[in-house]
């Protein structure tokens, strides 16, 4: 918390407060409140080990160490794969989503063992980043990456992690988004024209 | 009005999007017994459309498609929708008209294909659709032939992104104008449809509009069709078109609640969109004596340029596409075929950040920092013509979907013309954003809107349907959707799809009624 406050930031609680007002529609309140209060979920698609690895990877992609409320990023991926739903497409060069994730996680661990002789989970944050960077630019060593396009895997994983994170009300507070508070409509549309309910950035 | 499946109805319309809904309304108005089969659900906007991106992913066609080629097309959120209303449920509702020379690419450039008729055949339908939907826009509109009729309503207010684009364009000498958009700038009443309220500027058009201000088909042509007696059957997924020994279609087979049902009919109008229309024809081995079904897949070059500004923009406010320029319709220094238009873009947060992750490859603290600038970002994008190529096509893969039907595989690679156009636009848009004061400018290359696969033309050996949308092989099969465009046009497609749908309906009625 301490040094986060040195940087400009949006006040906390903006979205959570709006959700209790009639500035949001009932349908919107329902969707966001459900997400906010979702109970912790045990993985049902991944094994416990794979899930721990995925969780650690997601935490490097979108760090949450300093956060008071943890947003369930890896859990969202597990949930989707359990339900076997897709986002409507995949790269033809990739296997189906479930296999791609299992293989990709195996590949990440394999690269960690080749480079640091340690499983990914035992590495420091910097070392983990080094592995992930190598995957992203297709320079990660290991058997898996001979068959699975590393850059595509990384892109898909990152995009899904990001979608899970930024659709959460707490992350939306972080970036000062209050578009959900739209029942009165928006009248002040121009540059630097804010309505009362739009949060201002502060340095304090 | 529910019809019996044992009854022989006049027409079955498959799909209720931009191509299906206007045609459905026209046939019903003419007194025909028509049934629309729609794979997706019938939504109730007020209850089913929260202002939340994730909750609205249900509006996209989320059955998996395989994307191949050098520039694989992202489907789902970027491309196609489902539900009564089709992709118009979540289109951004830009509704520019094509210009006359868009229909004559081959004549003008010696490549691509001409349309089998000229602009004057579409013009009265453009007028009609714009008035019916209640399109908001400036009159006079600065580009293209003089309009016979002013837009139904005045332009919508210009948001932050639009104001910045205006500022940058003025600096570099590009003319701009408020865009034409099928969201209502004032309340609107239509006989057979009822009253629709003005747009509340909630910037959420790329998902469902919860108040009905955006002219999606479910609040415009569908109620009109129902008013005239059409039956809409949602959650009916068509799998088969049955051909009688006489060589014409006699019934349509579909799945409802896990059960197979059949509807007998005299005519079939296939309006399932570029991908599903071609897939259905290939699955049933129909209407393909030309070998052209699934061929000529096109997708508009849609490069976006994003930048961060000192100004507070709040990109979630106002219709996403507020400002337009068609000055690049035929730029003097072009080294490519056709042209493109420029549009300002506002954006919802999850869409923006996930594009940034894909486009800039940012993650970790870099990503969080860049996401923190969300309230200060604005974009411009292009939409440009795309040529048909042999290397871009759809085929059935060996992989099966949940119904046991083969998933489609779509090959797409931009050609030299599209790449040159994108490079040209990259320079132009960076100059505009530079002049407007943007920092951290970055480019997101993409292709938007799939077009083609069942081309229309005058020659049965190179086209799937004739100029009236009628199959060359099967006289009682018509196609009305994105798939029949012989060329991609340099504008967003929906308005033209609707205009063409009405023309197809009128031609059909003249011939058969
Ligand atoms: C995010 C987004 C933004 C867009 N913005 C714009 C814009 O600003 N301006 C513009 O002009 N265009 C825009 N478009 C494109 C526009 O929406 C489409 O080009 C247009 O809707 C296509 O019309 P169509 O009739 O071909 O198909 P669709 O509108 O997609 O309709 C096809 C329908 O057929 C149904 N269907 C498919 N298969 C079957 C089957 N087997 N059985 C039964 N039903 C079936 C589908 O469920 C769907 O409802 C946008 C698209 C997207 C995705
Ligand atoms: S911006 Fe207007 S038209 Fe678009 S979704 Fe919101 S209210 Fe509807």
DSSP A105-163: HHHHHHHHHHHHSS-GGGS-HHHHHHHHHHHHTT---SSHHHHS-HHHHHHHHHHHHHH
What atom of ligand 1 comes closest to residue B86's alpha carbon? 49
Q: Do A189 and B66 touch (CB under 8 A)?
A: no
Q: Give me the torsion for CA of A26, A27, A32, A34, rounded to 10°.
A: 90
- What DSSP state is assigned to residue A9? B
Residues 6+ apart with CB under 8 A from A92: B66, B67, B68, B72, B409
**Alpha-carbon gap, residue B325 to B38, rounded angstroms:** 36
Q: What is the structure's pLDDT at B1? A: 64
**Alpha-carbon gap, residue B15 to B237, rounded angstroms:** 9
Residue nearest atom 2 in ligand 2 by C-alpha distance: B199
Q: Pairing between strand B8-14 and B34-37?
A: parallel
Which H or E run contains B177?
strand B177-178
**Alpha-carbon gap, residue B482 to B489, rounded angstroms:** 11
Structure confidence by residue, pLDDT tens digits, A88-144: 999 999 999 999 999 999 999 999 999 999 999 999 999 999 999 999 999 999 999
Q: What is the structure's pLDDT at A65? A: 87
What atom of ligand 2 comes closest to residue B199's alpha carbon? 2
Residue B223 and residue B84 in contact, taking contact as beta carbons nearer than 8 Å:
no
**Alpha-carbon gap, residue B43 to B40, rounded angstroms:** 9
Q: Tell me the β-bridge partners of B341.
A: B383
Q: Which residue of B has its CA nearest to A200?
A: B312
Q: Do A194 and B312 touch (CB under 8 A)?
A: yes
A-chain residues within 8 Å CB-CB of B371?
Answer: 166, 174-175
> Is residue A1 predicted with pLDDT exceeding 90?
no
Give me Rg for the CA atoms of chain B.
22
Residue B134 and residue B213 in contact, taking contact as beta carbons nearer than 8 Å:
no
Beta-sheet strands, E only, within B185-235? 188-190, 194-196, 231-233
Residue B385 and residue B425 in contact, taking contact as beta carbons nearer than 8 Å:
no
Question: Rounded to the nearest 5°, which phi and psi values hold at B322?
Answer: -90, -35
Domains along chain B? 9-46+75-512 (3.50.50.60)
Q: Give me the torsion for CA of A21, A24, A27, A30, rounded to 10°.
A: -50
Number of Cα atoms under 13 Å in the Cβ half of residue A27: 20
ipTM over 0.90: yes
**Alpha-carbon gap, residue B445 to B422, rounded angstroms:** 8
Residue nearest atom 3 in ligand 1 by C-alpha distance: B91
- What DSSP state is assigned to residue B507? H
What is each CA distance from B301 to B212, B422, B491, in whole angstroms?
Answer: 30, 7, 11
**Alpha-carbon gap, residue B356 to B354, rounded angstroms:** 5
Residue whose token pair is 């919802």:
B348
Q: How far is CA B405 from the centre of its chain?
A: 25
Q: How far is CA B137 from the centre of its chain?
A: 19
**Alpha-carbon gap, residue B272 to B289, rounded angstroms:** 20
Of A25, A32, A158, nearest to B357 by CB-CB distance is A158
Q: How confident is the model at residue A7 (pLDDT cuts 50, 70, 90)?
A: confident
Structure confidence by residue, pLDDT tens digits, B131-179: 999 999 999 999 999 999 999 999 999 999 999 999 999 999 999 999 9
The three-class DSSP label of residue B305 is strand
Residues 6+ apart with CB under 8 A from A32: A15, A19, A24, A169, A180, B50, B52
Name the token pair of A197: 């309910």
**Alpha-carbon gap, residue B39 to B15, rounded angstroms:** 7
**Alpha-carbon gap, residue B205 to B209, rounded angstroms:** 6
B-chain residues within 8 Å CB-CB of A192?
Answer: 311-312
Structure confidence by residue, pLDDT tens digits, A152-190: 999 999 999 999 999 999 999 999 999 999 999 999 999
**Alpha-carbon gap, residue B347 to B334, rounded angstroms:** 29
Count the Cβ atoms, other than its own, within 10 Å of residue B391.
Answer: 11
Q: Pairing between strand B237-243 and B249-256?
A: antiparallel
Cα end-to-end distance, chain B, whole Å: 21
Q: Which residue of B has its CA nearest to A128?
A: B364
Q: Do B57 and A63 touch (CB under 8 A)?
A: no
pLDDT digit string (tens) for chain B, length 513 residues: 689 999 999 999 999 999 999 999 999 999 999 999 999 999 999 999 999 999 999 999 999 999 999 999 999 888 889 999 999 999 999 999 999 999 999 999 999 999 999 999 999 999 999 999 999 999 999 999 999 999 999 999 999 999 999 999 999 999 999 999 999 999 999 999 999 999 999 888 878 999 999 999 999 999 999 999 999 999 999 999 999 999 999 999 999 999 999 999 999 999 999 999 999 999 999 999 999 999 999 999 999 999 999 999 999 999 988 999 999 999 999 999 999 999 999 999 999 999 999 999 999 999 999 999 999 999 999 999 999 999 999 999 999 998 999 999 999 999 999 999 999 999 999 999 999 999 999 999 999 999 999 999 999 999 999 999 999 999 999 999 999 999 999 999 999 999 999 999 999 999 986
Name the token pair of A37: 């209060």
Q: What is the structure's pLDDT at A3? A: 47
Residues 6+ apart with CB under 8 A from A23: A181, A182, A183, A184, A197
Q: Give me the torsion for CA of B175, B177, B182, B185, rounded to 10°.
A: 170
Of A159, A174, A186, nearest to B318 by CB-CB distance is A186
CA distance B121 to chain A (A): 36
Q: Tell me the β-bridge partners of B447.
A: B301
Residue B453 and residue B65 in contact, taking contact as beta carbons nearer than 8 Å:
no
Residues counted in chain A: 204
């Amino acid at each position: 918390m301490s040094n986060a406050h040195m940087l400009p930031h949006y006040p906390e609680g903006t979205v959570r407060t709006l959700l209790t007002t009639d500035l949001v529609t009932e349908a919107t309140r329902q969707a966001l409140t459900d997400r906010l209060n979702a109970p912790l979920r045990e993985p049902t698609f991944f094994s416990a080990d794979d899930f721990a690895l995925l969780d650690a990877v997601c935490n490097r992609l979108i760090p949450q160490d300093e956060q008071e409320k943890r947003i369930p990023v890896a859990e969202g991926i597990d949930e989707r794969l359990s339900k076997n739903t897709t986002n409507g497409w995949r790269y033809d060069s990739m296997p189906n989503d479930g296999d791609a994730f299992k293989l990709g996680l195996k590949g990440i661990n394999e690269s960690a063992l080749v480079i640091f002789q340690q499983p990914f989970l035992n590495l420091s944050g910097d070392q983990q980043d080094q592995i992930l960077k190598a995957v992203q630019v297709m320079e990660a060593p290991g058997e898996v990456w001979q068959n699975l396009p590393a850059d595509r895997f990384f892109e898909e994983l990152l995009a899904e992690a990001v979608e899970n994170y930024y659709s959460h009300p707490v992350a939306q507070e972080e970036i000062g988004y209050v578009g959900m508070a739209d029942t009165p409509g928006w009248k002040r549309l121009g540059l630097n024209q804010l309505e009362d309910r739009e949060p201002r950035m502060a340095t304090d | 009005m529910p019809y019996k499946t044992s009854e022989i109805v006049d027409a079955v319309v498959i799909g209720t999007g931009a191509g299906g809904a206007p045609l459905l309304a026209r046939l019903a108005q003419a007194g025909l017994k028509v049934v629309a089969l729609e794979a997706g659900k019938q939504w109730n906007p007020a209850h089913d459309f929260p202002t939340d991106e994730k909750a609205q992913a249900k509006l996209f066609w989320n059955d998996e498609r395989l994307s191949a080629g050098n520039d694989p097309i992202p489907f789902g959120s970027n491309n196609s929708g489902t539900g009564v209303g089709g992709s118009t449920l979540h289109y951004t509702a830009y509704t520019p008209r094509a210009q006359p020379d868009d229909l004559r690419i081959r004549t003008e450039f010696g490549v691509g294909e001409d349309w089998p008729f000229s602009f004057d055949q579409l013009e009265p339908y453009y007028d009609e659709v714009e008035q019916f939907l209640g399109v908001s826009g400036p009159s006079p509109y600065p580009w293209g032939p003089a309009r016979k009729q002013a837009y139904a309503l005045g332009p919508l207010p210009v948001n932050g992104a639009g104001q910045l684009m205006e500022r940058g364009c003025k600096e570099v000498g590009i003319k701009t104008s408020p865009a034409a958009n099928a969201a209502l700038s004032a309340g609107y009443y239509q006989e057979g449809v009822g009253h629709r309220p003005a747009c509340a500027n909630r910037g959420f058009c790329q998902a469902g509009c919860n108040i009905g201000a955006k002219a999606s088909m479910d609040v415009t042509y569908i109620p009109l069709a129902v008013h005239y007696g059409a039956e809409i059957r949602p959650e009916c997924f068509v799998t088969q078109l049955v051909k009688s020994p006489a060589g014409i279609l006699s019934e349509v087979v579909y799945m409802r609640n896990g059960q197979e049902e059949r509807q007998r009919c005299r005519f079939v109008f296939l309006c399932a969109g570029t991908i599903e229309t071609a897939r259905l024809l290939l699955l049933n081995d129909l209407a393909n004596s030309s070998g052209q079904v699934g061929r000529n897949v096109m997708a508009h070059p849609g490069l976006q340029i994003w930048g961060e500004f000192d100004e507070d923009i709040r990109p979630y406010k106002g219709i996403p596409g507020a400002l337009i320029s068609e000055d690049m319709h035929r730029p003097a220094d072009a080294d490519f075929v056709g042209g493109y238009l420029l549009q300002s873009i506002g954006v919802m947060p999850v869409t923006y950040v996930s594009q940034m992750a894909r486009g800039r490859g940012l993650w970790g603290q870099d990503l969080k920092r860049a996401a923190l600038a969300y309230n200060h970002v604005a974009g411009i994008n292009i939409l440009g013509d795309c040529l048909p190529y042999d290397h871009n096509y759809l085929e059935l893969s060996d992989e099966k979907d949940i119904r046991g039907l083969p998933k489609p595989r779509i090959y797409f690679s931009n050609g030299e013309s599209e790449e040159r156009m994108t490079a040209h636009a990259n320079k132009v848009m960076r100059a505009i954003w530079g002049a407007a004061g943007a920092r951290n400018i970055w480019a997101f290359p993409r292709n938007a809107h799939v077009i083609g696969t069942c081309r229309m033309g005058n020659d049965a050996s190179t086209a799937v349907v004739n100029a009236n949308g009628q199959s060359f092989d099967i006289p009682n099969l018509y196609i009305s959707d994105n798939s029949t465009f012989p060329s991609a046009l340099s504008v967003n497609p929906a308005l033209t799809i609707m205009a063409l749908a009405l023309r197809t309906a009128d031609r059909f009625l003249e011939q058969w009624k």
